[in-house]
């Protein structure tokens, strides 16, 4: 089912387990980790007890709220902060988890679990050296703890591997994976048993017939032949290399234009969007606003569908980069594992190369700016500054490119450190100034699950759209997409939709064992 909502032009102007780190939050009020001149008041300890119960039931947001109430009554307990840190880890607010764990360590430097929490947060943020320092502390203090030893050993391997990769990168000239594979495409045999879609015989190009057959083939849980998959990636590299960091999009008067948010490997929900809103074409243009892959276990199907449509309709089908189109996120959240399972290690390298070339921002009729994450840590960033960003790299830890892909809006004015530990949170005043300074009606972004699949914030200046319903088969949210009609009035219209059934492959089926280090 789907629901459509229109927004007028004025409205439009997130105890008991087996190992040390994995234990449920601590319940004992007599721990030596309770610091300060007095013990916590009974009311604080009651909030903590209720929070522990909520945590064990998987109600992490409720647990965070209750731990916060305990901390408001008594802010000298390392346990309270470490427990809330664990809840933040479960909700993937890694920045908040890191802050709470550090606070717990400041209160009690002997409290082992706080080091675990901080290491976990740093692992989630890809800060492996910092994580290793804390895992070393845990391993040194508990040498007999097999879980601590395993995580210390795994983290140390990652640090050493990254150091090795950095060293050899200086020693050898990098060869483009796409260029390298293109030289051997013609020698790849297509077996007689292959009964799937084929690129055109003249030039190996994507056709409308190919796309239609590909969708049907994927519905049967079959895999596109590797020769055609590699060809699509090679062609995407060539196409995206010619695109700008900020793509200007013109919507002819009276023409419908659709903006979709995160898809996250939910292929059958992607098909449902096309069922509801029509297949993309030159007269039915789309923009998909990043995070095509990871989490959902049909990411390969999603990305080759979207890439095929981009090759078929390069001027009317648009793709923007999300924070999950990156090496580390793909390694952790399933896409790398899925590509290796369905194809080969080599293909992962091609995806990295192509993802680095995806545009970051789209400007619709000079009035609506669309990016995956959000705005900046400084007010002086202009559209011209965005145009000048050299995007051909993995996503950096900081700076305008990182903020475009990672930032989130907040209700309060001003800016705040990000709950994610990357980029910033920006308030309605920040959005208002950015829109006025750059002549924009409003911004559209994605990046966050919303109950109805969309959210209008900052007095209509900041709109979020998220297109993965019942995210990870657990969230119960609707998905949504936005439609605009070209002309003077570019007011957004929202269509919400429910999830549809999919084959019995669980989300995160291909995720990395590294998840165990911080999940």
SS (H, E, C) 115-184: HHHHHHHHHHCCCHHHHHHHHHHHHHHCCCCHHHHHHHHHHHHHHHHHHHHHHHHHHCCCCCHHHHHHCC
For domain 42-169, give the CATH number.
1.25.40.10
Read off φ and ψ for residue 299, nearest 5 degrees: -70, -35
Whether residue 431 contacts residue 458, with contact meaning beta carbons closer than 8 Å, is answered with yes
Residue among 342, 237, 334, 327 at smallest CA distance from 293: 334
Neighbours of 192 (CB within 10 A): 6
Q: Please tell me the distance from the alpha carbon of residue 91 to that of residue 192, in angstroms, as a whole number.
A: 48
Kindly give the residue spans of alpha helices, DSSP state H, lying in 259-344: 267-277, 299-312, 327-333, 335-342
User: Mind listing the pLDDT tens digit for each residue in 440-455?
Assistant: 999 999 999 999 999 9
pLDDT at 24 over 70: no
Continuous segment of H or E residues that includes residue 305: helix 299-312
DSSP labels, 415-455: EEE-TTSSSEEE-HHHHHHHHHHTT-SEEEE--S--TTSEE
Per domain, the residue ranges of the chain are: 42-169, 179-517
Query: Which position has the token pair 């040194």?
Result: 140
Instruction: Name the CATH topology of 179-517.
Output: Purple Acid Phosphatase; chain A, domain 2 (3.60.21)
pTM: 0.90
Q: Where are the beta strands (DSSP E) in 348-504?
A: 361-364, 368-371, 408-409, 415-417, 424-426, 442-445, 454-457, 462-465, 479-485, 493-497
pLDDT at 515 over 60: yes
Q: Annotated active-site positions, please? A: 324
- What secondary structure letter does DSSP report for 514? G
Higher-pLDDT residue of 420 and 27 is: 420
User: Mind listing the pLDDT tens digit for each residue in 315-372?
Assistant: 999 999 999 999 999 999 999 999 999 999 999 999 999 999 999 999 999 999 999 9
Q: Please tell me the distance from the alpha carbon of residue 50 to that of residue 352, in angstroms, as a whole number.
A: 45
């Amino acid at each position: 089912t789907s629901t459509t909502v229109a927004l007028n032009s004025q409205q439009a102007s997130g105890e008991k387990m087996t190992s040390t780190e994995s234990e449920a939050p601590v319940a004992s009020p007599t721990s030596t980790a309770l610091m300060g001149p007095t013990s916590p008041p009974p009311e604080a300890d009651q909030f903590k007890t209720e929070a522990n119960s909520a945590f064990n039931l998987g109600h992490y947001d409720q647990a965070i709220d209750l731990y916060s109430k305990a901390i408001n009554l008594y802010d000298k307990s390392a346990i309270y902060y470490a427990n809330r840190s664990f809840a933040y880890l479960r909700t993937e607010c890694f920045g908040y988890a890191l802050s709470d764990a550090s606070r717990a360590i400041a209160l009690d430097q002997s409290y082992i679990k706080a080091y675990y929490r901080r290491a976990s947060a740093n692992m989630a943020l890809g800060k492996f050296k910092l994580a290793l320092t804390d895992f070393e502390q845990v391993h040194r203090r508990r040498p007999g703890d097999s879980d601590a030893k395993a995580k210390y050993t795994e983290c140390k391997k990652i640090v050493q591997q990254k150091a090795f990769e950095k060293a050899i990168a200086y020693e050898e000239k990098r060869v483009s994976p796409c260029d390298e594979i293109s030289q051997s495409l013609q020698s790849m045999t297509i077996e007689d048993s292959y009964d799937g879609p084929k690129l055109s015989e003249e030039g190996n190009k994507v056709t409308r017939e190919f796309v239609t057959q590909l969708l049907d083939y994927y519905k049967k849980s079959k895999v596109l032949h590797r020769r055609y998959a590699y060809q699509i990636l090679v062609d995407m590299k060539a196409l995206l290399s010619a695109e700008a960091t900020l793509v200007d999009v013109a919507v002819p008067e009276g023409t419908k234009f659709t903006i979709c948010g995160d898809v996250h490997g939910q292929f059958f929900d992607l098909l449902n969007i096309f069922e509801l809103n029509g297949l993309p074409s030159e007269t039915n243009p789309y923009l998909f606003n990043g995070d095509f892959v990871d989490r959902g276990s049909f990411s390969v199907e999603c990305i080759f569908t979207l890439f095929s449509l981009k090759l078929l309709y390069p001027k009317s089908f648009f793709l923007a980069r999300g924070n999950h189109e990156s090496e580390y996120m793909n390694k952790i959240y399933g896409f790398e594992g899925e590509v290796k399972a369905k194809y080969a290690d080599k293909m992962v390298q091609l995806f990295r190369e192509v993802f680095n070339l995806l545009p970051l921002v789209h400007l619709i009729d000079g009035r609506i700016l669309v990016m995956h994450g959000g705005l900046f840590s400084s007010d002086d960033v202009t559209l011209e500054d965005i145009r000048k960003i050299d995007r051909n790299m993995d996503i950096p830890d900081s700076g305008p490119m990182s903020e475009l892909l990672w930032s989130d809006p907040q209700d309060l004015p001003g800016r705040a450190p990000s709950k994610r530990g990357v980029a910033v949170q920006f308030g309605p005043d920040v959005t208002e100034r950015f829109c006025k300074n750059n002549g924009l009606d409003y911004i559209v972004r994605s990046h966050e699950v919303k109950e109805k699949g969309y959210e209008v914030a900052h007095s209509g200046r900041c709109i979020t759209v998220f297109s993965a319903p019942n995210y990870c088969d657990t969230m119960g949210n609707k998905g949504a997409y936005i439609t605009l009609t070209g002309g003077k009035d570019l007011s957004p219209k929202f269509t919400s939709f429910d999830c549809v059934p999919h084959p019995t492959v669980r989300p995160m089926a291909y995720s990395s064992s590294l998840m165990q280090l911080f999940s």
